[in-house]
Amino acid sequence: MQSTPSQHAAIVCDKNMILFAGPGSGKTATSVQKASRILCDPNRSLLMCTFTRDSAQEMLHRLEKKMDESGSGKPSPDRLRVSTLDSLCLWHYKATISDRFKLLSPQAQYPRLHQICKEFDLGGLDEHQQLFDAYQATRDRTQLVEKIREESPKTMVLIEQYYAYLKACNSLDLATIKRTVAIGLYEGTVPLFPFTDMIVDEVQDSDELQLLIAIVHGQNGVITSLVGDDDQTIYDWRAACGYQGMIKFVQECNAEVVRLGENFRSKSEIVEHATNLIRYNNPNRVEKNQKAERGPGGFVGGCYQEDVETEAEWIAGHIAENHTHPYNMAVLSRTNINLDIIETALNAAGIPNYRSGTSLWDRDDIAAYLSMMMFMCKGSPDLLAMALGLLGFKSQSVNTIMAELSSHHIRFRRGNAVDLPGLEPIEQTVLNQISKCMGKWRQDAKDGQTDLVIYESSAEFARWYSTLGAVAKKSGKEHPKVTRLKKGMQSVEKALTRIQGDLKGRIRLLTRKKKEEPESGAVRLMTMHGSKGLEWDHVYLIGCEETDDHNTITEGPSERRVFFVGMTRARESLWMTYGGKTPLFLLEAKVENLLSSPEPFGVAASADEHDPSIWDDDE
């Protein structure tokens, strides 16, 4: 595709430059063409930095393809390096400072931080994460340390203990390496990266140190191009530089400013409403005046429902009523909690979906309950073992029970438990209750009372969970893990009772093993943060109500940018569901197509035909 005038201006610019690129503006294609042009000159070399490893691999793949098409061939490693800034700093540290150290990986860092919080009674790590990240990403820490000591002294304890641990282990983490390299570059004690040109993508999410690296190179003869969108700064709570940092680069490096004014992704209705919203962040932003190149024909609407559960039911029904598989769509949420709910609703409606990361059905407590119920249906003792372990039975007791059930599980599931040696009295009591309940539930299920079995079993499982072990009630107070289980079981109940068919089939439908990669045509479930850089024909934003204060990490302009990112993932249609009053962001976006509490669509999945072999001991 031929470059637009603004893209061409960015591609041919041979001085420090910043490219403000809105959603769907073709910034990656522009960066690739600019990189290809640079590498066509044998006297130039290029360093390309991205925000994630996946983005780096994608950028390298597209650049190599572009150069193959032009006949230039693959450039040598000394002429092209594509990586994240963290990986780049690690490489440069080893090459110019020292390679004699142990690297503490992020996978090892967070367990250690959690351990320090627990050991020193500091509360949860999430209470300290923002200030801890700021400490690691700040060049001059003087004022920040004063702030932390005054406002959050426990965070200072965490920081001091963590860095003492690094010193004791003779280890470095990536943040320490990045800070050492950045300060060394700034002070002139570390040499510049050995490239003539530098392109930094998604620069709005760079922190102070990453921005400093770009500025130092731009001030010292390396032609430095920054690419990003200040309107999509969604990690400012992790010390991302955003608009202020991008303007700082312009001022300190005398950089050319180029704006990409086209949107090749979305219909004009989506671009218009998203632009209406983000302009409320003026004046602390750069106006793009995006034009929707695909023209009109899209749809933007809002739908009021009583709560997020009915929002999820409405979305599932709307998809079933208006779309067919394969789907090119996503449901996005501000929180993972809402993704649990929409995942449950889509499963109950039989709509194929894929969720990145863990979900409700991956939780140990939920999996233990479902395993117990599958044991009741089909009788594999190892399924019950998982549930007993979670309920608080001791390991030796579980072994004793498994030895008994290996030959007598049918009798147990019919309600005839026996006293076993070595069990504590409370363990024997709970075991007898499980057996007695299973005998009743099996008969209820045979009589067609499957929903009753689900309601009773979920309540009993939570009661047993609160009876044994570390989560048992103390001083009349319910353990937080029990409260969490009960909330999760409410979602499980709703999912299982919405599906038609026998109990075993319902459980299997909801717990199908998730594939590592999404199957073609599945509805994608993601957070708005996770959706950045992706796009679909149809997008639903669930849980847009502004009354859920616990869902909000930041306020005002920051939340508006997150919402803007969610809106601009859509190509053809965008629905936003909410409870309570009409959300401020929908009013700011001037969304007029608002449905007021429409009835949920009547859709439900079927767990296939009734399985006559569901009770394996029936003769």
CA angle 369, 389, 498 (to 5 degrees): 5
Instruction: Consult the annotation and say whether 23 binds a ligand.
Output: yes
Contact 406, 414 (CB under 8 A): no
Is 25 annotated to bind a ligand? Reply is yes
357: left (phi over 0), alpha (psi -120 to 50) or beta: left
DSSP secondary structure of 540-558: EEE---TT-GGG-SS-THH
Whose tokens are 């109940």? That residue is: 493
Is residue 26 marked as binding?
Answer: yes
Is 536 in a helix, a strand, or coil?
A: strand
- Mutual orientation of helices 364-378 and 395-413 as an angle, nearest 10°? 40
What residue type is assigned to position 526 of the chain? M
Exposure string of 513-524, with b = 16+ CB inside 10 Å and e = fewer, is eeeeebeeebbb
Rounded CA gap, 25 and 10, in Å? 13
- Is 403 marked as binding a ligand? no
The Cα–Cα gap between 604 and 329 comes to 20
DSSP 230: G
Instruction: Calculate ∠ Cα 59-64-66, nearest 5°.
Output: 95
Residue 21 annotated as binding site: yes
- Residue 472: helix, strand or coil by DSSP? coil
From first CA to last CA, the distance across the chain in angstroms is: 70
Which residue, 371, 358, 391, is CA-closest to 485?
391
Cα 524 to the chain's mean position, in Å? 12
Per the annotation, does 24 bind a ligand? yes
- CA 129 to chain centroid: 17
How many Cα atoms sit within 13 Å of 304 on the Cβ side?
13
Give the separation between CA 259 and CA 257, rounded to whole angstroms: 7
Q: Which residues are annotated as a binding site?
A: 21-28
Q: Which residues are annotated as a binding site for ATP?
A: 21-28
